[in-house]
Structure 1
């Protein structure tokens, strides 16, 4: 029987996690490790190697070496596709193990972790097709003497800095796209959620990926992340995380003017009109708030509701939130798990205090819950009496806290929704299709939904406006993001000499 077939809780001993460089795990005699306390249990479940600048240099050298040799970068697309398909198969084969560790380190419910692992495999299958269909353009309009081509080439070595909230699915929204276009990569996972990134190294190696194409250097942002962002032999830096850290990444990237792809913070509006199906909208808003305990960059953290149904909708929503099943992460029935760390829980609670100081009220929730010994659980909070200039309506809390605001007209709803430094996501709830399409055109957001939220597949790009980032991941755009565009001009026939 597979050791992960009976999921029950933390392991007896913490799992020690090393570095993966040039196709093998690397340990040094003086290697330091950082313990990771499980959000759901408050006990150490893993020990993560603290990589150094030298480790980053070794990993980048391995990635650059294999890229220049061409064993992956010049491999035919059909061959790359077969490896990506095999990786998807192996991910699904190890889904219980990956979900187990995702739950342990991130604190999310096991049902959510399983779904994310399987969704992640789908990205590899999708990218197998893109590896074979990525193409350029031809220009046959220059006359008899000149022919033009535009071709796409892999950009080189990618530095990928991954977040703690969705360690495997965010990785899957980047790695197969980076690989499909022929690049090599050095990944820094969050020091809080490193297991599945290292497990992927085994999966890709077994699938046939050449050594050095996929490398993992675990450790902290100020050391490993900074070294990747500054490294002169990295061609693209991809980062998912806070806007403040994204700003630092951009500054560091100027060492060699590397390309940047950044998915950053959000303060995303859920706009609810009176003519929507209010019960559907309440369920969707509750899901958008509670998914991953609100620790989600596209979480719907601002409720912008039409004034004449505010009281009715808040009552419906509060009733929904009362019935959210918050529980042990390994309970199959749990819908919402634990908050990632004690420090983060304290930050979320400080915003609840701030909301009341600013003049708002807590209509529902916000209290700690004693689910498991040592677990860090919070009931989702619904704030009312909020104005859009309050800090709780402008700043990303990154937890299960929803600020309710009201509007009277479509113009006012748009003004409130766009009055934010961010532009990552937005949802519109209305049964009037003209209104829905008109609003979706006017509201800022790289990922938007009508009568649903946090839904979609690998075919559509991800990213944001303004302080929510630059660039796009996933979809065809996600592969093109990691290519260089080259114009080729071909002279035909005898040259008409300039010098006679």
Structure 2
């Protein structure tokens, strides 16, 4: 660890891949295959980490550990205060390790080091928030059932939760799920994306240091098609939480049918930035550029569609282009850069394919389009297309890269139709100075999360999730704990029950 801390402090690349074992039943776990997934940094093209390639037997061991830990009550039967104490200590340990965790996050994901630091610190805040919720989970009472009957609703932890997280925000997205799972009293098996597993493994060790009982959180690494699928199908898992693409979400939903386990899904998005004629165009332009460049556009709530009133389209596009021209793309370990690397070659090629399709479909390339993959270092300049047809691939499909499409409208009704005219409904931003127009817009726009005169902001107090093909269920906020509980109705007879047969 001292060598890792030194590397993190100096932001030097490791001389050889940093190996981290899996974590099952409170201890390091090597796995049965002896094979590793070696990760090359997408911003540097060199091997930086290695994590075990698990098999189904490893996954079964993790689920068995979580099952024992839940059934014997070592966590679920603790008081809310006791659970909160562990979550708060975890938050403190995360803050103590922010430089190391951010360094590992940047190596594996390719995101800028400043962004990684911000995400780790924000994640610690989520753990602190969830700790408070551990003490307020409650049911209800019903004293209106008559003189001889009293009713209770009891909220109890759902059981063993399988959590599959994506590669774009490995630590932050896990922190939007796991502390709420734990606050509810559940146990968990976590399967991080094979490209970005190391910070999840480090978090598991911090949880043990914070006092979490053995077996409550287990981490299995490897390929989603093997261990992720087995986790979704497992008969001893009571709920699945999956964050990722819509196609894979469908397969998780189908796999969960074996034991009818509950499923929470946060999936893809094709999110509109709706700009009305009265908007503050300077503010909107900066936010729009941020919304599509953040994490190199590899963000499920990225504002990838600019839907703008025709009267201000030309002016706004010029302002967005001016912001794009100031965006620095490059080495993610250089804190002066705004945008880092694309996560891997497949994603790089996919984004490039959409840019080529935009050119072929007749959209006007206003800015960007350039890319480089020299030395397995994957970078794409922020790209802006104008005159994008609403039914084209640029406007309909999730690109997951720094590519912004622009479509104009003339009326409020047309703006709403364009905003809702995709299969997704994850997020949206609305830009207007008119309060009535803003309220009318967020009432009509089909999305689980909406920002007015801002974008990609907020804290854990508010719920997140999607509608349509963007998902099922809600995370964070008080709803984030309720998501991982079951309600039980209890009827208590007071006095003698009326006899059926006298």
Q: Same fold (TM over 0.5)?
A: yes
Aligned to 1:451: 453
Moved more, 280-289 or 5-14: 5-14
Aligned to 1:142: 145
Residues 288 and 299 in structure 1, CA contact (< 8 A), matched pair in contact too: yes
Aligned to 1:332: 335
Measured in 2, the distance between the counterparts of 1:357 and 1:5 equals 44
Moved over 4 A (4+): none
SS in 2 for 1:148: strand
Measured in 2, the distance between the counterparts of 1:292 and 1:37 equals 18
TM-score (norm 1): 0.98
> Could you list the per-position Cα deviations for residues 346-390 of structure 1 after superposition, in whole angstroms to 9, with x for gaps in the alignment?
1101111111211212110010158x8542111010011111100
TM-score (norm 2): 0.98
- CA offset at residue 333 of structure 1? 1.5
SS in 2 for 1:303: strand
SS in 1 for 2:286: helix
Correspondence 1:156-235 to 2 at 5 A? 156-235=159-238
Measured in 1, the distance between the counterparts of 2:214 and 2:47 equals 31
- CA offset at residue 489 of structure 1? 0.4
Measured in 2, the distance between the counterparts of 1:34 and 1:53 equals 16
Instruction: Rate the CA distance shift 1:439–1:50 in 2: closer, same or farther, 3 A.
Output: same
Pairing 1:9–2:12 present: yes
Measured in 2, the distance between the counterparts of 1:7 and 1:450 equals 40
C-alpha RMSD over aligned residues: 1.2
Measured in 2, the distance between the counterparts of 1:158 and 1:107 equals 29
Measured in 1, the distance between the counterparts of 2:165 and 2:267 equals 11
- CA offset at residue 8 of structure 1? 2.2
Pairing 1:250–2:221 present: no
SS in 2 for 1:254: helix
Aligned to 2:399: 397
Measured in 2, the distance between the counterparts of 1:29 and 1:123 equals 34
Measured in 2, the distance between the counterparts of 1:494 and 1:415 equals 61
> Could you list the per-position Cα deviations for residues 275-331 of structure 1 after superposition, in whole angstroms to 9, with x for gaps in the alignment?
111000000000000000000000000000110111111111101000012221111
Correspondence 1:40-439 to 2 at 5 A? 40-369=43-372, 374-439=376-441
Residues 7 and 100 in structure 1, CA contact (< 8 A), matched pair in contact too: no
> Could you list the per-position Cα deviations for residues 228-267 of structure 1 after superposition, in whole angstroms to 9, with x for gaps in the alignment?
0100110100000000000000111101010000000000
Measured in 1, the distance between the counterparts of 2:446 and 2:500 equals 53
Measured in 1, the distance between the counterparts of 2:33 and 2:97 equals 32
Measured in 1, the distance between the counterparts of 2:204 and 2:10 equals 23
Moved more, 322-331 or 25-34: 25-34
Residues 32 and 58 in structure 2, CA contact (< 8 A), matched pair in contact too: no
Aligned to 2:476: 474
- CA offset at residue 5 of structure 1? 5.3
Measured in 2, the distance between the counterparts of 1:60 and 1:276 equals 52
SS in 2 for 1:487: strand
Moved more, 326-335 or 387-396: 326-335
- CA offset at residue 29 of structure 1? 6.5
Measured in 2, the distance between the counterparts of 1:22 and 1:284 equals 44
- CA offset at residue 332 of structure 1? 1.6
SS in 2 for 1:81: helix
Measured in 2, the distance between the counterparts of 1:266 and 1:181 equals 28
- State the number of aligned residues: 499
SS in 2 for 1:6: helix
